[in-house]
Amino acid sequence: MSAIIKTTHLTKAYGTQKAVDNLHMTVEQGQIYGFLGQNGAGKTTTIRMLLGLIKPTQGQIEIFGENLLTKQKEILRRVGSIVEFSGFYENLTARENLLINAKLMGVHKKNAIEEALEIVGLQNEPAKLVGKYSLGMKQRLGIARAILHHPELLILDEPTNGLDPIGIKEIRKLITTLAEERKITILISSHILSEVEQLADQIGIIHQGKLLEEISFAELRTRNRKFLEFQVSNDNKAAMLLEQRFDIFDYEVHDDGKIRVYSHIGQQGKINKMLVEHDIEVSRIALSEDRLEDYFIKLIGGGTIG
Amino acid sequence: MVNLVYTELLKLKRAKMFMVSLIGAAAAPLMVFIGYLDYKAKKPDMPVLFSEAFSQTNLYVLLLIGTLLYGVITAYLFNREYVEDTLKNLLTIPVSKISFIASKLVLLFIWILVLTLVAWGLTFILGWIGQYEGLSAGVLLQSLKQFLIGGSLLFLLSTPTIFVTFLFKNYVPTIIFTAVITMGNVALANREYKALYPWSAVHLIADNGFVPEYPPLYSYAAIIATAIIGLIATIVYFKKADIH
Ligand SMILES: Nc1ncnc2c1ncn2[C@@H]1O[C@H](COP(=O)(O)OP(=O)(O)O)[C@@H](O)[C@H]1O
Ligand SMILES: [Mg+2]
């Protein structure tokens, strides 16, 4: 595998605030890379730098193994992108908007525009002006514009932002299809974990401008730990008893009397009996796995995502 | 570059701004024509000359309506890429920032020429309806030359307006800027400094109405210096500006 995107020490400062802080990111060929972070984490700023729209304060960007600074034009010809919301000339139709890109990129294939519109399902309203499009249609048209010239790398910044669940599902399907059929490497950013979870091979988690982790989903799953969850009436007392009677120290107390025990899987019966004997009501016992979301929240130190 | 200019033209398809600008360009000939009707009502025996009508119309176009109208279309051409959020698409295609500015300038020049010809043509038609006198090929050619020179020089002076548009990315400061320029024209109308103020110097050159205090060279120099400074400021600023 070879790296399609590689950043080193990538930093963008606005005044004293570092919107992107010393980012080392690697996207390998053929991957769908989920770039995950809360609102304001620095995703769009990173993507703008990858596309040469803003200049890094520090650091290097290599795309297709070439330096973006010196080979920007050549590199960008092989990239398709959406940054935040897609802007269009609202007095023109979808075809006319795409024609502008086709002309300027030297896409000469006669049916390239038709093909792109068909892929995103916008071929049926040739006369409608883009000003009359819904947000979902605009985002799909944005994807059509991004793939018009058959790029090898697609950079999509929150392509499902503001869409309804059906729209989100459609875009997700579209992205999977593009990755499979055209073998495009895709970088997709999102602040919603569940969205990239179903798409990505690899995720990079960005928080307050820093890349906290870059990990493949396969590896992430092996890391997820099983635990027993007890819903108890008195969590303080229960925790003390777990330590004294069973030597259990690998546990967490969560809200409203939930205790997660990461060892002694299979001994829930015994533990339950002991708790009940000490006058603790156990209203629920469950065997579960750390969800990705919990992992994520732990990683960024509290707060919520999605 | 041909493709870029073609796409710039395409972007104007169905654009209301183009129609509105045509109405704006019709304002000066209409004003002069209304003045003529008034004059005829008071002094029915006095002849009105074509050359007079052309020269008056050009005066209004260059000193009042043109600076405002061309300022507004300049702001529209450049600012709409920010308003409609299309600039990032263009620059990631990628189109170089210099060719982007160049293609917009070509279109602006064409647009200003069209408006100039509309003003000239309408003056001619209204004069024909009103039966002005003294029509000759010489008068037509001379006036056309004056209109075209004036329009072209005002086009050169659009570069500071472009800079203001890029700087603020908003119509309001640009319109205030062009209003102030127009005020300058009015304030200097009867003073010899009008030869040095680039925007009123345009009219002096087009109309050959130089003042004895300052040789024509000063007027040309004022216009060219302003245009070049505006262009350099625009390019330098836009080249290093982050695109958000
Ligand atoms: N042009 C700018 N000027 C100042 N601060 C900015 C600018 N753009 C982004 N920021 C700041 O940088 C941080 C990261 O923003 P952004 O990259 O848009 O986050 P995300 O896309 O992950 O939501 C935010 O704190 C934001 O306020
Ligand atoms: Mg963002």
pLDDT of residue A170: 83
Ligand index nearest the alpha carbon of residue A20: 1
Parallel/antiparallel/unpaired status of strands A185-190 and A32-36:
parallel
For residue A198, give the nearest of A289, A287, A292 by alpha carbon. A292
Q: What angle do CA B23, A87, A197 make, to 5 degrees?
A: 165
Work out whether the CA dihedral A112, A114, A115, A117 comes out positive or negative: positive
| Banded pLDDT at A306 (limits 50, 70, 90) | very low
pLDDT of residue B41: 84
Output the DSSP codes for B56-113: HHHHHIIIIIHHHHHHHHHHHHHHHHHHTT-HHHHHTTT--HHHHHHHHHHHHHHHHH
For residue B191, give the nearest of B205, B182, B181, B201 by alpha carbon. B201
Closest Cα to atom 4 of ligand 1? A14
Taking an 8 Å cut-off on Cβ atoms, the answer to whether A79 and B85 are in contact is: no
Taking an 8 Å cut-off on Cβ atoms, the answer to whether A76 and B94 are in contact is: yes
Rounded to whole angstroms, what are the CA distances from A128 to A216, B67, B71, B133, B165?
42, 36, 31, 51, 31
| Banded pLDDT at A183 (limits 50, 70, 90) | confident
In degrees and rounded to multiples of 5, residue B5 shows phi and psi of -65, -40
| Banded pLDDT at A305 (limits 50, 70, 90) | very low
Name residues whose C-beta falls within 8 Å of residue B142's C-beta, 6 or more positions apart in sequence.
Answer: B51
- Series of mean pLDDT values for 10-residue runs along chain B (244 residues): 92 92 94 88 85 92 93 95 94 92 96 96 92 89 95 97 96 94 92 90 88 88 97 96 88
Q: Structure tokens of B110?
A: 């064409």
Strands annotated E in A17-137: 17-28, 32-36, 58-63, 66-67, 79-82
In A, which residues are within 8 Å of B93 by CB distance?
Answer: 76, 101, 104-105
How far apart CA B38 and CA B56 sit, in angstroms, is: 15
DSSP state of A144: H
Strands annotated E in A1-144: 3-14, 17-28, 32-36, 58-63, 66-67, 79-82
Model confidence at A304: pLDDT above 60: no
**Distance from the alpha carbon of residue A19 to the mean position of ligand 1, in angstroms:** 6
**Distance from the alpha carbon of residue B80 to the mean position of ligand 1, in angstroms:** 23
How far apart CA A25 and CA B18 sit, in angstroms, is: 47
Rounded to whole angstroms, what are the CA distances from A95 to A99, A150, A247, B28, B92?
6, 17, 69, 38, 19
> What residue in A sits closest to B243 (Cα-Cα)?
A53
> What residue in B sits closest to A155 (Cα-Cα)?
B92
pLDDT of residue A1: 58
pLDDT tens column, A27-68: 999 999 999 999 999 999 999 999 999 999 999 999 999 999
Is A126 strand, coil or helix?
A: coil
Ligand 1 contacts CB of residue A126 (under 6 A): no
| Banded pLDDT at A169 (limits 50, 70, 90) | confident
**Number of residues written out for chain A:** 306
Residue-averaged pLDDT of chain A = 89
Write down the ipTM of this complex.
0.87
| Banded pLDDT at A232 (limits 50, 70, 90) | very high
On the CB side of A144, CA atoms within 13 Å amount to 29
Taking an 8 Å cut-off on Cβ atoms, the answer to whether A79 and B93 are in contact is: no
By the 8 A CB rule, do B75 and B160 touch?
Answer: no
Closest Cα to atom 26 of ligand 1? A40
In B, which residues are within 8 Å of A46 by CB distance?
Answer: none
Is A261 strand, coil or helix?
A: strand
Residue A48: exposure state from Cβ atoms within 10 A (0-12, 13-18, ≥19): buried
Ligand index nearest the alpha carbon of residue A13: 1
Model confidence at A278: pLDDT above 70: yes
Mutate which of A14, A83, A157 for ligand 1 pocket (most atoms within 8 A of beta carbon): A14
For residue A156, give the nearest of A199, A135, A180, A187 by alpha carbon. A187
pLDDT of residue B195: 87
Name residues whose C-beta falls within 8 Å of residue B218's C-beta, 6 or more positions apart in sequence.
Answer: B195, B196, B201
Model confidence at A150: pLDDT above 50: yes
Query: Which pTM value belongs to this model?
Result: 0.84
Alpha helix stretches (DSSP H) within A120-163: 135-147
| Banded pLDDT at A85 (limits 50, 70, 90) | confident
B6 to chain A, any CB pair closer than 8 A? The answer is yes
In B, which residues are within 8 Å of A104 by CB distance?
Answer: 3-4, 7, 90, 93, 95
How far apart CA A261 and CA A84 sit, in angstroms, is: 42
Bridge-partner residues for A67, per DSSP?
A62
- Which has the higher per-residue pLDDT, A206 or A293? A206
B9 to chain A, any CB pair closer than 8 A? The answer is no
In degrees and rounded to multiples of 5, residue B97 shows phi and psi of -65, -35
pLDDT of residue A164: 82
Mean pLDDT of A245-252: 89
DSSP state of A191: S
Closest Cα to atom 6 of ligand 1? A14
Structural domains in chain A, CATH included, are 3-221 (3.40.50.300), 225-289 (3.30.70.980)
Nearest ligand 1 atom to the CA of A15 is 4
